[in-house]
Copies of this chain bind each other. A is one copy, B any other.
Amino acid sequence: MSDTDGPHLAALAALLADPTRSTMCLALLDGRAWTLSELARHARVSAPTASEHLNRLVEGGLFTEVRQGRHRYVRLAGSETAYLVETMAGHTVPERRPVRSLAQSARRRALARARTCYDHLAGALGVNVTRAMSERGLLGQETGFALTGAGLDWFADLGIDLPTGGRRPLARPCLDWTERRPHLAGVAGAALLSHALDAGWCVRIGGGRALRVTDRGARDLADLLGLGTSAGAETSAP
């Protein structure tokens, strides 16, 4: 391989190499299914244009689609695809981009505080939770990135079932775009976000990826991980 793989790699990259398509991919990082018209509006293109792009993304295996009545729902093909998009997004140079409006600034701060990254926690909240887990000996980051025995017990005590045996790693680092530090992804990361939503630790705000930590969530996270009440609000200043 590899000698003849150039064109294949290029074909994959070309799917992400268009601003409209990459915007769509980032939008779908919220892990949910979007309709064509929602994506068209989000990416500011006409419906015909969006249709063409979705065809290519589905054809290329990055998206899967479900047709329901007159709607065309698409979502990321799976966690591996999300991982690919996350990895590439983590390598873009963060430039000083002028904030154009007050509303945009508020939205951006909300996303930086706490958000979902496909199926796990991200933003300051995700990074702080990951760091706290490390400090409490639940997660080992020194010699790689893996749950410890204590970490497995911690999930069990919370009543969170961690399905094993699949190809997906139990714990994996995911580079946070805003914090530039790793947060917990993989099976454990997905289970943790799922539990956080079920247990009412946080709720989605707006229709997007942003999360708000509830009072109950702040209390439980303080109890379980010693997180300060501003863990999902404070910036990453040292």
Contact = CB atoms under 8 A, between A and B. Distances in A.
A200 interface: no
Contacts of A13: 13-17, 22, 88
Given A171-B143, A178-B1, A93 B61 contact: yes
A94 interface: yes
Range of interface residues on chain A?
35 or more
B88 A9 contact: yes
Given A80-B91, A84-B91, A16 B21 contact: no
Given A1-B111, A143-B170, A144-B171, A16 B26 contact: no
Given A6-B19, A143-B171, A177 B94 contact: no
Contact of A88 (B12, B145, B170): B12
A50 interface: no
Interface stretch (A67-75, A146-154, A230-238): A146-154
Copies of this chain per assembly: 2
Contact of A26 (B9, B22, B83): B9
B8 A93 contact: yes
Contact of A2 (B29, B80, B164): B29
B144 A172 contact: yes
Interface of A: 1-26, 29, 43, 61, 80-81, 83-85, 87-89, 91-95, 97, 104, 107-108, 111-112, 140-148, 151-152, 164, 169-173, 177-178, 186, 209
Given A6-B23, A16-B17, A144-B169, 5 more contacts: A2-B89, A6-B22, A61-B93, A142-B146, A169-B173
